[in-house]
Chain A
């Protein structure tokens, strides 16, 4: 979590000696683009060797990734639809990460948020209540449910010193179990025999697709939220205080920063993001709450956030990359006769190489603003 300090140091660094400030800052900033891109390329290279070892052509694979994920308007629709939930669940990881908290329980907050949205909507179905009244209520319910859930992990950390990583993960299973209890019990649609679900929320309260695209509104909302949170974290005193806390919590406390409030705020925001993802899963995809809400988006979001180095602005493009890989994964299965796990192997390579590449930051003098050479 030296990022925050690093970023702060850049802002307060001594004025550069030569060249325009903008060009130098661009050069310094490009480190955050060049290294991940190199890492992805290196991972692709390793994966190419893996493919050769099992007797498949890496070029065919690349071509199928292109065709299946990005090669046509249809493929883009496929990619963006798969990226939509990942943007929000990645934010669930990225926002607490600014404070140095590792929250990995987004899956549970998503399921609970989706369930809350459905539970609020179902009583209104057929009542004639206007969508303009019910839909905001559904959104609110999902935000609150998801927010409180991750907020609970934050509270446990702040008040009792409970490890937030473990707490959020275990709470995630509790959230799924609570949801299934209601879905299979009190709120079950009697018509759903083999697969327990709540009653449908109906077309009136459903969220449609974005005009001209075969993608629901969750993607646009996710990108908007990512940008808003990116601004919050990089351009406000709140974000600055959060990043200082992430850099050194004791120092932040000594400075009189409201560490507890920052922690709780970030966890509530994070949980609300996951809850919102759950809302869209119910309102735009499933039309009801059931066990399919736990589809793993919360866990893939962890990967996306780490790959984006917990930078909210970087999350949408990384989510699109993952969405594209998932979209193309099906085509790879169908055309190359390879198992579903193939794309997971590639994701694994990317993740490991990317984590390893973290050590490269600050090692290249090319990206230095100041004239100083050698290690900082």
Chain B
């Protein structure tokens, strides 16, 4: 871990003001300190934002505003979240461990960096860590890597579970920065790697996440977060599916699907969602949507199985959502 200055900010403005080249905001620290110990992150300054008054969860019109410093555990166990946004609760509780969720913040969760082995290992080239050095994952150990939206520069995935639910719920990210405040629709928050894989998000330098807004609840019954991984808990997703359905009689009025573990950002396909809408919820229609989504997939040398797994997981996720039988967090039998 490198040497750095430490600033404890008392207000958002102070935090933004303390920002400069090489600085990082720190809240839960569960990913940043991890990366600093590996010398992947070497900030010259840490700006401690944990004392900012940003940990509240409050009603906001018909929606809910989640303060950026609310811990993952606080959000997951909030009664309003449980009642109105159970998809978010389930996604959060499918990730990490109880200890990590007690420390990790909402804002930090959005900024989690990829778990690509090569990104983490400074002995190997990585374009995300050192732009221009090359991507070692291509042609290497890429069983866990992306099948959607990859580039020749980077095939890493976004690791968060919570963000997959936020993508499906069409949350909005509220940020504050040197240029003032702005809102970023969730779908525009994370980026695809393209030719600048070092940028995970569209946050501008010095911008700080202050809140995540959830729109009016529409999926309190027909939802699921289905996560497939290499062990039954405490592992990142190979493929995960956040599915949410709103019904009009026996027909799907609104469908939302977001996939985790398969792309550099939560992966959505509006066409596939549209394909489900206005029709009865049948396995056939779920399969058609799944086929449409995976048609875009591009396998790497070792992760071709993810295409098939994603297709099957989408269908099962939609079945769970339609039936109102969301995946249990503790009973590992898949519904």
Q: Do A and B bind each other?
A: no
